[in-house]
Amino acid sequence: MQYQIHQPDPHAKGRIGLLTTSHAVIETPTFMPVGSLGPVKGLEPKDLHALGFGLILNNAYHLYLRPGHKLVADMGGLHAFTGWSGAILTDSGGFQIFSLAKLCAITDEGVTFQSHIDGSTHVITPEKAIEIEEALGADIIMVLDQCVALPTTREAILEGVRRTRLWAERCQAARRRTDQALFGIVQGGLEADLRVASARELVALGFDGYAIGGLSVGESKADMYTMLDVTVPELPETKPRYLMGVGLPEDLVEGVARGVDLFDCVVPSRHGRTGSLFTSAGRVVIKQARYANDDRPIDPDCGCPVCGQYSRAYLHHLFMVKEMLGARLNTIHNLWYFSDLMSRIREAVKEKRFSSFREAFYRNYDRQGELAGLTNGELGTRTGMA
């Protein structure tokens, strides 16, 4: 993996770059659609390419349980198995182990857990996590980390930071493949000093990139952005910075404003399947009766193939009768919105007008619900609109 950074505005933290792997060259900042079990639900690889994506996320936990990392390796790795020719990032499965496992016991050695599928018992150590990810064959892989549920005590967060560093060292030592980039993961909950300490410890170990984990787990927007404010400056300018599992539109804007390069989230696909559609003026909840006779597209300003062909009334009908085409079309529209948003962000950074772009985004975007957690005063402070 190679990463080239270009920061056209020395007075802004937002930056653009080129992330090069053996499968793709990706302009950053960028958003990664999530295909937990391989595919992004309902879409083929050609759909994702047409939507402008060159990098997706697959989940090591889910693929380890089904169909198994050894089977994927026997099939030639994830690229051959799924038919996706672009780049792939696999997370280590640490978050899913802690959030999905029926029972979970954590020690310095690793994690013993019961599968959320059949209750079978498994043990994942840092060495096992690297074995799984190397077998899957992604371009970018993640260390095993301990994601601490919030709220919790400072002592529990401190223990998670210590164990995350220990596991990161062991993941680094366990590496065998030289054609995959390995990222460290910063933890520290909502404790600013522990975030800084975690970042410095991982930077000292020398990873190919750095992720910020343990956010978007129920904390307020203000708290999440504060943690980014203290963490991102500790990460190397020359390495990619990845904010894990965060992906509402305003989070992408605010993450870029703080120097983040990579994002992933299930939001566009999951919201699409549940009938929540993103537009330049907020969200359209397509199941609402008001759309039953609405002949307009989802978003008149959207250039996606769904808005170019189908009405809100038709999409409302598909959702209400539980037609699978509805979920597919909704997902395509949402991913187009996210791809287009990132493209416009990159152009704004290139042209040194990101600050005005950010202000215009909030003027247009419906703040009700989406921006819960920030008061109007905090919004004004963070967007320059006070």
- Residues annotated as catalytic are 91, 264
| Cα 146 to Cα 78: distance, rounded to the nearest angstrom | 25
Task: Report the DSSP beta bridge partners of residue 19.
Answer: 3, 26
Question: Where is 38: in which H helix or E strand?
Answer: none
Largest CA distance in the chain: 61
- What is the C-alpha to C-alpha distance for residues 382 and 368, in angstroms, rounded to an integer? 17
Residue count (the chain): 386
Instruction: Say if residues 268 and 331 touch (Cβ distance below 8 Å).
Output: yes
Question: Are the C-beta atoms of 338 and 266 separated by less than 8 Å?
Answer: no
Buried b (16+ CB within 10 A) or exposed e, 280-294: bebbbebeeeebeeb
DSSP 265-294: ESHHHHHHHTTEEEETTEEEETTSGGGTT-
- Encoded tokens for 136: 């899957």
383: helix, strand or coil: helix
243 class by beta-carbon count within 10 Å (0-12 exposed, 13-18 middle, 19+ buried): buried
Instruction: Give the CA distances from residue 299 to residues 68, 302, 303, 306, 312, in Å, rounded to whole numbers and listed in that order.
Output: 41, 5, 9, 10, 9
Which residues have CB under 8 Å from 235's CB, separation 6+? 186, 199, 203, 210, 241
Strand 121-124 with 111-114, pairing: antiparallel
Helix axes 354-364, 324-350, angle to 10 degrees: 150
